[in-house]
């Protein structure tokens, strides 16, 4: 049986989706306050009963602040900055830079651009 935890982060950024028709509202430059939720899971808990200490996720928050916060995402990502592709990018970064340093493993990562619109990336193991 596994235990899952979640931690939510936010950052503000602008983007436009260049592959949409010119009249589409998302083809124009606009911004969002993005919400990123990381879900971690573990079969066994570490002392004092954690999947992972939330403080150990600081490198991920630092990445968001330094590389994405108050940026034009089209300039910093090498792909179209849709919620789906941002979620995939962030999950890949998390797995390469954070996951090996913590006891929990990434289960899912969701990116919301508004309270009603989001994308969720999940690990298939």
HEC secondary structure over 54-100: HHHHHHHHHHHHHHHCCEEHHHHCCCCCCHHHHHHHHHHHHHHHCHH
- Is 83 catalytic? The answer is no
Q: Which of 24, 70, 97, 122 is catalytic?
A: 70
- Is 97 catalytic? The answer is no
- Closest by CA to 29, choosing from 41, 16, 39, is 16
- Is 70 catalytic? The answer is yes
d(CA 112, CA 37): 9
Q: Which of 26, 80, 84, 99 is catalytic?
A: 26
Which residues form the catalytic set?
A: 26, 70, 113
């Amino acid at each position: 049986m596994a235990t899952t935890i979640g931690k939510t982060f936010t950052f503000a950024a602008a983007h436009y989706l260049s592959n949409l028709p010119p009249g589409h509202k998302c083809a124009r430059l606009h911004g969002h306050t993005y919400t990123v939720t990381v879900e971690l899971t573990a079969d066994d808990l570490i002392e004092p009963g954690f999947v992972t200490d939330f403080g150990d996720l600081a490198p991920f928050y630092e990445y968001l602040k330094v590389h994405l916060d108050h940026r034009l995402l089209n300039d910093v990502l090498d792909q179209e900055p849709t919620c789906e592709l941002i979620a995939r990018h962030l999950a890949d970064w998390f797995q390469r830079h954070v996951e090996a340093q913590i006891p929990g493993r990434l289960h899912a990562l969701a990116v919301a651009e508004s309270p009603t619109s989001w994308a969720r990336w999940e690990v298939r193991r």
